[in-house]
Amino acid sequence: MALPRLALVVGGARSGKSAYAERLVTGSGRPRRYIATAEAWDAEMQDRIAQHQRDRAGDWTTVEAPLDLAAALGTAQRNEAVLIDCATLWLTNHLLAEHDLAAETETLVAALSSCPAPVVIVSNEVGWSIVPDNALARRFRDVQGRLNQRLAHQADLVVTVIAGLPLVLKGTLP
């Protein structure tokens, strides 16, 4: 199946979005490049990362890029399919490092435009919950929502995953 130039897979926690995105990339028949943005700050996160690695099996090229997605996308080959998992952890890393989020977003958007390979990017939908009780959490919710809007605008395909089921919001499934 032919992947679009950019696909966004968005959903809530444990919605099945990563598994769905992996199936999209695997179904392309191309060599697979996985760009991981998670950082293992504690044992629970180490376990989550290890489970994701087991789920993918051994035929993915993995690039660790908790902050510099532009550089990681720059290493992609035209014949590959790229999966970024996920934009939410990438944004969290930049937020906690107190980086300029608008500038980082612009850099990411430009890198996605110039990437020679098709890209599937996973992101969390965090705006369907209660209003957070603190300023940092509210800021995160707001910047995540704006990032998702930017990615969706640029994407040829946008799919939300709810309870493991994909729902196309924009474009056509390959």
Of 170, 160, 166, which Cα lies nearest the Cα of 12?
160
**Helix (H) / strand (E) containing 124:** strand 119-124
Residues forming the active site:
52
Q: Could you tell me which residues come within 8 angstroms of residue 112 by beta carbon, excluding any fewer than 6 positions away?
A: 6, 73, 119, 121, 151, 154
Say how far apart CA 155 and CA 171 lie, in whole Å.
Answer: 9
Q: What share of the chain is helix, strand, coil (3-state, %, to 5)?
A: 45, 20, 35
